[in-house]
Each structure stands twice: as C-alpha cells, then as structure tokens.
Amino acid sequence: MNAPPLSPRIRNTFAAPIPTAKAWANRYDGRAGPTIDLTQAVPGYPTHPDLASRLAEGAASPVQARYGTIDGDESLREVLAADINRIYGGDVGAADVAITAGANLAFTMAMTVLCGVGDQVMLPVPWYFNNAMALSMQGLEALPLPCRAEDAFVPDPDRAAALITPRTRAIVLISPNNPTGAIYPPDVIARFAALCRSRGIWLIVDESYRDFLPETALPPHPLFKDPEWRDGLVHLYSFSKAYCVAGHRVGAMVCGPRVRTELNKVLDTMQICPPRGPLPGLTWAVDNLHEWKAGNRAIIAERARVFREGVGQLQDWHIDALGTYFAYIRIPEGERDAMAVGETLATECGLLSLVGPFFGPGQDRHLRLAFANVGLEAIAAVPDRLRALPR
Ligand SMILES: Cc1ncc(COP(=O)(O)O)c(C=O)c1O
C-alpha cells in the first residue's frame, strides 16, 4: 500500500516525554519498593471538597452542558481579572481575559496569533518541553536562551538582546519556572518587557505556578501597571495546579484588544468554548479558597524542604535548582548521560523522573524531579533510590 505521508512538522516534534518515562516503569520489577513517580507537575492532593461538589453540580448542569461564549463565562473572567489586579495592582478587565481549555492550549493559541511560519520564539533553556513541541508543530523555531545554574537559572536580558534576530517574534518567560522552579525577580521580568518593547517583539509570561509564590514574593512583576501593557504582553495562567483541577482543563490568557480580536478566531476554531462544567465552581473558588491555597503552599514548601534535606546529603548528586514543584538535579560526574540514567533509575530503582534532553539543548546532565506529586514518605525515599543506581 502506498501509505500517505504525515506532516513533517509533527514528525520532527519529539515524542511526549511523560508517556516515554512511564513506559520505562513497566519494566521495573518492584525490587526497591513501590514506584515513585516524579514525572508530572500535579499536586498530589485532591481539590477542596466544596469545590469538588461545585464541580459535580457544574458537570450535571444542563446550562453548562451547552456551548458557551468562545472566551468563557463572563463571571469567571470578571473574578479572575479582579484577582489579577489584587495581586499585580493593575487595571485588567474581564474583556482582557479569555478562559481557555488549559494554559497549554492558551500558549498554542497565542503562538497562532502572534507568529507566522518560520518565525522564532525565544525560550530560556532549560525550557518547558510542551512550549518547544507547540512551536515545532506550528512550523516555528525555538530560539534557545541558555540559562546557568550559577545564575539560579534566571535568564539574562542582555544575553537575550544579543540573540534576537529579525525573525524573533516573542520571548517566553515562565515564572516560577518549569522545570527549575526558579522565581524570576520582578526587575528581571521588567527588563525583559523593556527589551521586547524596544525591539518590537511580544513578551509571553506564563505564571501557571504563581499561586505557589510566597506572599513575600508578591507582586511577581510590575508589568500590569504599565499603561501600555496591552500592546506588548500576553499573560498565561492555569487553574490546574492552584485548584487541583488539571483534568478539567481550564486556563486563561490575558491580552489586549489587538491580540484579542485575532484570538477570537482561534478560540472559536480551536476550542469553541472552554469546558463549561468547571467554570461556576472556579468562579466561586477564586475568591473563597485563599486560606486553602496558603495551606497548599505550605504543604509544597514542606515537600521541598524534605527533598532538599534528603537529596542534599548525597555526595555525588547535586541539586542545581529547587522551587515550587520541581528539583532540577545534576547527575554525578563520570555517570552516563541523562537518558541512560533516567531509564535505569526507572527500570531498576523504581524512580520516575523526566530527563534533561526534554528540556532543551545542553541538558544531558540533568533530571527533573516533580516532588509535588507525592507525599513526604515517598520524597524521603528518593535519596535511597538515587544511591541504588547501578554504576
Ligand atoms: C509552565 C506550565 N504552563 C502550562 C502548563 C499546563 O497547564 P494546563 O494544565 O492549564 O494546560 C504546565 C503544566 O505542567 C506548566 O508547567
């Protein structure tokens, strides 16, 4: 049979990292204890019970079962805008907010609006693998901006300035960062905004983990206070992590009217409307779960502490970065590269991680461990699993 071809863009996109790592786990025989799965960035605790019952009501509601407006229910757009203004001190209105079927889709949709085939988008490295995948699927080029462990993986705006080319359309910042957990200082984010403005390129800021910032780190940046933010900034947010509703697929994009007019075409085509069942519950949650979210911040911070205490004691492994959900650890000197080590840890030690090469060029010596996934007992067992790596 003359099999029809597939898109070269999709064939050139690397395979989904998490299923790849999980497939390794199928070959683990349990010898070191139960599998510890630190692949995915999800909080390992359930959502708030009052939100859970509202989600159930939303799922059963005949009104929410209908198509809604392309940018999501107005009530949620209003409360999210107010929440953003409370945190950042800006003037965001409901009209600036589009509710999306997750922040990942929001990123893809933003790229569809802002970039054309062959354009470049600068991603600090290590990068969030789905950003790189989304670019390659759309015929866009990821332009790596290398970040250094010595700088706590905070990207350098001067280095970025030197890398921009006439094809560069946007710079993407994720703070707190996936995969390093790095929190970019507000003045660094502001310098990136100034750079983008001076070079006529878009700044995309993904703040899917902003609810895990300590109170002392707020506001995360001053960008929404700039009266001209609508002409240069696209902000992405996810409800997945903060409200433990990753499977319900709700995120948001905040942008100005020029982007929005074009985005409406994309929203209509790619999502028609966001999933509607969760929206009334999330509208309630934004204003009513502050204390619960603070408790979750403390839970995750405790997991980070226990991780640092245990893995930090190992002689040969090094924690290059640790924050919010993630530790980005360096493989011992003289050991095989990340792909081989990650596979062996999965198949022989029952420890599932994501390997550095998924996070961009030059990451062969690193693993990402998403410790937010699991409880303290499992985190305390991680050092033994690393020690058990056959050499
Ligand atoms: C930085 C970042 N953005 C977006 C997402 C995906 O969010 P959502 O579940 O809303 O699509 C993730 C999930 O890991 C993430 O780490």
Tens-digit pLDDT profile for residues 17-45: 889 888 999 999 999 999 999 999 888 88
- Over residues 114-140, the mean pLDDT reads 97
Residue 208 Cβ < 6 Å to ligand 1: yes
214, 111: one domain = yes
Q: How far is the CA of 60 from the centre of ligand 1 (A)?
A: 26
- 185, 273: one domain: yes
The model's confidence at residue 391, banded by pLDDT at 50, 70 and 90, is confident
Determine contact, residues 319/311, Cβ cutoff 8 Å: yes
Q: State the Cα–Cα distance between residues 21 and 355, nearest whole angstrom.
A: 8
Helical axes 129-137 vs 103-114, angle rounded to 10°: 40
Q: Average pLDDT of 129-157?
A: 97
Task: Clarify whether residues 75 and 105 are in a common domain.
Answer: yes
Which residue of 38, 100, 104, 236 sits with most ligand 1 atoms within 8 Å of its CB, as the best mutation to test the pocket? Answer: 104
pLDDT at 44: 81
Domain boundary among 288, 319, 343: 288
Identify whether residues 213 and 341 lie together within a single domain.
no
The band of 142, judged by pLDDT with boundaries at 50, 70 and 90, is: very high
Q: How far is the CA of 333 from the centre of ligand 1 (A)?
A: 32
Tokens 């206070």 found at: 225
Give me the amino acid identity at 67: Y
Are 206 and 301 members of one domain?
no
Taking 90 as the threshold, does the pLDDT of residue 354 lie above it?
yes
**Which pLDDT band holds residue 271 (cuts at 50, 70, 90)?**
very high
- The domain of 305 spans 10-46+291-387
Tell me, rounded to whole angstroms, the distance of Cα 91 from its chain centroid: 25
Q: Which atom of ligand 1 is nearest to the CA of 42?
A: 14
Domain harbouring 16, CATH code = 3.90.1150.10
- 76-106: per-residue pLDDT in tens? 999 999 999 999 999 999 999 999 999 999 9
| 123 in the same domain as 29 | no
Distance CA(127)–CA(124), nearest Å, equals 6
CA 106 / ligand 1 centre spacing (Å): 10
Q: For residue 186, how far is its CA from the centre of ligand 1 (angstroms)?
A: 21
The answer to whether residue 90 is domain-embedded is yes
Return the structure tokens found at 151: 């700088």
Please indicate, yes or no, whether residues 273 and 314 belong to a single structural domain of this protein.
no
SS3 242: coil
Q: Is the pLDDT of residue 171 over 90?
A: yes
Residues 312 and 364 in one domain: yes
Number of domains in the chain: 2
CATH of the domain at 144: 3.40.640.10
pTM of the model: 0.97
List, in sequence order, every beta strand (DSSP E) within the chain.
36-37, 97-100, 120-125, 141-146, 168-174, 202-206, 233-238, 251-254, 318-323, 326-330, 351-352, 354-355, 366-370
173 occurs within a structural domain: yes
Per-residue pLDDT, averaged over 381-386, amounts to: 97
Task: Give the pLDDT score at 115.
Answer: 98
CB-based contact 160:192 (threshold 8 Å):
yes
Domain endpoint, select from 288, 311, 339? 288
Q: Which of 225, 236, 147 is nearest to 190 (CA)?
A: 225
Q: Which residue has the tokens 């049979």?
A: 1
- The answer on 228 and 351 residing in a single domain is no
CB 47 within 8 A of CB 217: no
Assigned domain for 4 exists: no
The percentage of the chain sitting over the pLDDT mark of 70, rounded to a whole number, equals: 100
Which residues is 123 bridged to in the sheet? Answer: 144
Domain boundary at 272, 288, 304, which?
Answer: 288
The Cα–Cα gap between 80 and 93 comes to 9
State residue 214's pLDDT score.
86
Same domain, 303 and 242: no
Six token digits for residue 297: 């911040």
pLDDT at 139: 96
CA 237 to ligand 1 centroid distance, Å: 8
